[in-house]
Chain A
Amino acid sequence: MFSSTREGLALALPAAIFALLLFILPVGILLSEAFQSDDGWTLKGYIDFFSKPLNQKVFLRTLKLGVLVAGTAAIIGYAAAFSITNLSPKARGRVFGLVILPLMISPVARTYAWIVILGRTGIVNDTIVGLGLSDTPIRLLFTETAVFLGLLQLFMPLMIISLLSAMENIPRDVIPAARVLGANWFQVFFKVILPLTKEGLVVGGTLVFTGALTAYITPAILGGSKVLMLETLLYQRVNVANDFVSASVIAMILIVMSFTANLLLKRIATARK
């Protein structure tokens, strides 16, 4: 495309300098604090972090919710993407618009909606009490369930979009052919659809998992201080305790978790070849 490599590099240079100076460098400096002490380079920050039971619990809760949200989004996302793919082009466009509509609404507004829905006087509790399933409203807010629902709703569109894009690339006759040859729907999914959409799953899974790990607003509003996650703990360390070393440790853990999830998903996708 370019007459020389130099031209290509010159065009990429402003963006590269921008990223280097305003992202990579400051983040690198911040993260390097997690490996420093008065005596030089150390892993003490990490050892201290993981030696505290609360931090262990918060780490495991964050991991668990990230996996659950990504897994559930994948299951619901496959069903949704499959049905959308089979719609007429006009209907597909409309439904796709509905899928991406939540992305245009502030996460704060979307999360506050859950307070109304899950509150003691919300629609869920009104239904539960109305049906006689419980005499009194049950506690839904400030629980892991609330955080899970909020995160799932927040990131589900990303999974559907990724899977939809992958599914549209599946040759139209492949699934009917598999059915004609005697495959049941279970076999169709695992032998045909999943292998052909694994790239979409990797992208969607990484986006949803990473998003669930790093979202702050939703766990802060729906979980509060009783359902601490790594991102809310990070905020506390910086804004309450002014403890940038612990915050850097948490940031590094989140980054490592995100990269690991991406590598793992890619590995799983490759192994299925």
Chain B
Amino acid sequence: MKNLISLSAMCCALATSAFAQEKTLTISTYSFAQDAYKAALYDPFEAICDCNLVIETGNSVERMSKIEANAADPVIDMAVISSQDALALSRKDLLSPLDLAQLSNHSKLYPAAQDPIGGNMAVGYTFYASSIVYRTDLVEINSWADLLDDKLAGNVSLPNITGTQGPLTLMMLNKAAGNEGTDFTSVISDIGTHADDIVTFYSRSSELAQLMNQEEVIAAPVGRFAWSRFKSSPLPFAWAEPKEGQAGGMNVMIMTKGNGNEELAHMFMNYWLSTEVQTRVAEALIDSPANSEVVVSDEVADNLTYGADLINSLSILSPAGIIDNREAWVEQWNTEVIR
């Protein structure tokens, strides 16, 4: 009995000691490219931080719900998410402002990524351009307005309004019609008029890649992050450079309020934003860099949203504009487009 008690005590001591040494950082992220992230980011960070990373993946809605449901006692320390979703969480007072003194790589970021939602509540870690992929042997694309032109009737797909690409497409179609701002009423009505000419409203870039490779669709707006799916196709696809320019978006890092793990979260964010890691992530074609000091080869750059000229030229829809108008857009979309 004495031996048993001693053994139990020793086990408890070892376990306590192990818990004391093992710090854990819980990250919420998109589910794509996790193997590549592990090699380029998670494993190298674990090697230097003396900590464990717990990676939770899922779509934005699931992950935001989890953050909101556990607001009193956060189970997520930091998350990567779209800038508009970050603003939505910030407005619900679920985020903690970032301490820039702990982010030494912050000044290396492109200006648009440094404080994308205000109040230092988030920091951009990747940009993506959005333009039109098209079949060069069948059609020529010079403007976003070409998407609704008769020459593409029955051969074009648009992103669903509920995804990140949907509002960007509306913004550029609005721009092509000579309008600015976030009043997309006339554009949505215009799409509604042409609804029968649109093959489908896709939700995921993988779905679009399949449709275009099966020749169901010959032109569609898509994010640059999906370009490699088209580039490797035997069909002649090209990335359009419409006269209205390209749209753009950004994903950001955020930290949950009161998670108690702020120091480690800042350390991880700073590591991710470093030139070394941003270069590694870019060369693995996972994400386009937000760090302006990253230098990659032309071949790698061709697959990314890369370079100050391109990033500064992107038309970026303000996160507040999206959140404030999304409900009205979806309502009109459901009435006039989906019908």
Residues of chain A touching chain B, judged by Cβ–Cβ distance below 8 Å, are: 52-54, 57, 115-116, 119-121, 139, 141-142, 224-226, 228, 236, 238-242
Contact = CB atoms under 8 A, between A and B. Distances in A.
In the A-B complex, list the 4 residue pairs whose CB atoms are closest, starting with the nearest.
Answer: A224-B200, A240-B162, A225-B201, A54-B334
Given A53-B335, A120-B216, A226 B162 contact: no
B215 A121 contact: yes
B202 interface: yes
The prevalent SS among residues of B at the interface is: mixed
A226 B334 CA distance: 10
Interface range on chain B (Cβ under 8 Å from partner): 20 to 34
A142 B199 contact: yes
A225 B214 contact: no
Interface string B192-204: 0001001111110
A116 B199 CA distance: 16
Nearest to B326: A241
Given A224-B201, A240-B61, A139 B154 contact: yes
Interface in B286-339: 330, 334-335, 338-339
Nearest to B334: A54
19 contacts: A53-B339, A54-B334, A54-B339, A139-B154, A141-B199, A142-B200, A225-B160, A225-B200, A226-B195, A226-B200, A226-B338, A228-B338, A238-B61, A239-B59, A239-B61, A240-B61, A241-B330, A242-B61, A242-B65
B157 to A, nearest CB: 9
B62 interface: yes
Given A225-B160, A239-B61, A242-B65, 9 more contacts: A52-B334, A54-B335, A54-B338, A120-B216, A141-B216, A225-B203, A225-B338, A239-B59, A239-B62
Contacts of A116: 214
A121 to B, nearest CB: 5
B64 interface: yes
Nearest to A57: B339
Contacts of B160: 225
B61 A120 contact: no
A238 B216 CA distance: 29
Interface in B207-237: 214-216
Nearest to B62: A239
A224 B214 CA distance: 16
Contacts of B203: 225
A179 to B, nearest CB: 51
Given A54-B335, A57-B339, A119-B214, A226 B201 contact: yes
Nearest to B58: A239
Contacts of A52: 334
B94 to A, nearest CB: 14
Contacts of A120: 214-216
A240 B61 CA distance: 6
Contacts of A224: 200-202
B199 A139 contact: yes
A236 B160 CA distance: 11
